[in-house]
Amino acid sequence: MNISILDVLRLSFVALGANKLRTFLTMLGISIGIAAVIALLAIGTGVQEYVNQQFASAGSNLIGIVPGRIQRGGPPSGFGQQSVLTMADYAAVSSNIPGVVDHAADFTSAGNIVFGSRTSRVQISGVTPSFAQVRNWPARKGRFINDADMSARSRVIALGVTVVKDLFADGEDPVGQIVRVNNVPFQVIGVMEQKGSSFLGDQDAVAYIPLSTAQERLFQALAQSKSGDRLISTIYLQAETDRDRLLIQSAARNILRERHRLRPDEPDDFSVISQQELLDTFGAVTSVLTIFLGAIAAISLLVGGIGIMNIMLVSVTERTREIGLRKAIGAKPSAILGQFLVEAVVLSVIGGALGILIGIGSALGISNAVDFRPIVQPSAIALAVSFSAAVGLFFGIYPARRASQLNPIEALRYE
């Protein structure tokens, strides 16, 4: 007795439709598992893309040098008497290393900015004019600090969008206004492009003044070493290409070790960190997170697969006489086996299709509640479909094999 695949499918739908509620609940288990896999993988992929965008917005091929040693699992250490960076250090590494196409420096401290009756406490950074270009952060209104401001130690300031919102009424033009920074008057010359929030916090809660003004007028006590050197918080070096990055890091480290008179057995009293290293570190973390989320979702798929096995075993018991009758009129064990396997796969595939729709809808819904956009990749959908079919096949084998091995005489006697 030979039947076509279309007949097998038709019989499968008839058998599954005989108990619609039970079939629906079984498919629901698979649907929830598939939806969880797609939604959680979309979240993990979205987080990875968000991190990449945040680092890309900070500039390209950047290398940062900060005082102290950044240790794994803890804050920077080694902030002793020599653990500082000076303007002389900046001049040495920015002018003596091939492959450096641009550079900048800053000195950062917290401060109060006051306009009228409003106050905003933010991060205030004294920066060199090249900072905006190196960090890929131009002014969207007015201008940024220039060489003339640096030379004259001018009291001018460029504000982040958050500071503007804190200090000025809607529609009020801040450019040209006078604000007080730690009780020192500054003229607003520009408003920076909006960066938005990141895993590091609100990037727009900042204000920029000339580095010379910060060192010699606003933060004079903080920005001067005991020997009278002018201090800086960070040195930024921009490599021409990513290939130059390692060479620049090594050269900068050698120059600073020599300038700080460190012995060969002494550790660095500074840290040289590249943008790519940070990106790789965060990428490794987010990859593990994505795998972890996928593993959690896979547990619900396993539960759904056990549900399919359970329903198929019940179906075998209920249809024992039918199986005996089919075998008595010539149905081969392979046909019975195929019939029940097809039913299990149909259950899982239909449940998987519903799960895909639920998963995509969930990912779109999540995007309205978070700062990043979950990304549903075609590979995740293909994986979900393949996995759902495999679950149905795997958990359907035992019930199908049990049905195919029933003795037709005993099956016909079954009550």
Contact (CB, 8 A) for 169 and 86: no
DSSP 121-161: EEEEEEE-TTHHHHTT--EEEE----HHHHHHT--EEEE-H
The neighbouring-strand residues paired with 65 are: 235, 272
Instruction: Report which of 35, 25, 41, 16 is spatially closest to residue 301, judged by C-alpha positions.
Output: 35
- And the tokens for 51? 């991190």
Which pLDDT belongs to residue 227? 78
Contact (CB, 8 A) for 55 and 275: yes
Contact (CB, 8 A) for 113 and 163: yes
CA 404 to chain centre: 50
pLDDT along the chain (415 residues), means of 10: 61 70 79 82 78 63 84 46 82 88 92 93 94 90 95 95 92 93 94 78 89 92 84 91 84 92 89 79 75 74 75 72 71 73 79 86 76 76 76 74 68 55
Instruction: Report which of 388, 398, 397 is spatially closest to residue 301, judged by C-alpha positions.
Output: 388
For 29, how many CA atoms within 13 A lie in the half-sphere containing its CB? 22
CA 220 to chain centre: 39
Based on the number of CB atoms within 10 Å of its own CB, is 21 exposed (0-12), middle (13-18) or buried (19 or more)? exposed
Which pLDDT belongs to residue 82? 52
Instruction: Report which of 219, 60, 82 is spatially closest to residue 153, judged by C-alpha positions.
Output: 219
| Secondary element (H or E) of residue 107 | strand 100-115
How far apart are the C-alpha atoms of 162 and 141, rounded to whole Å?
14
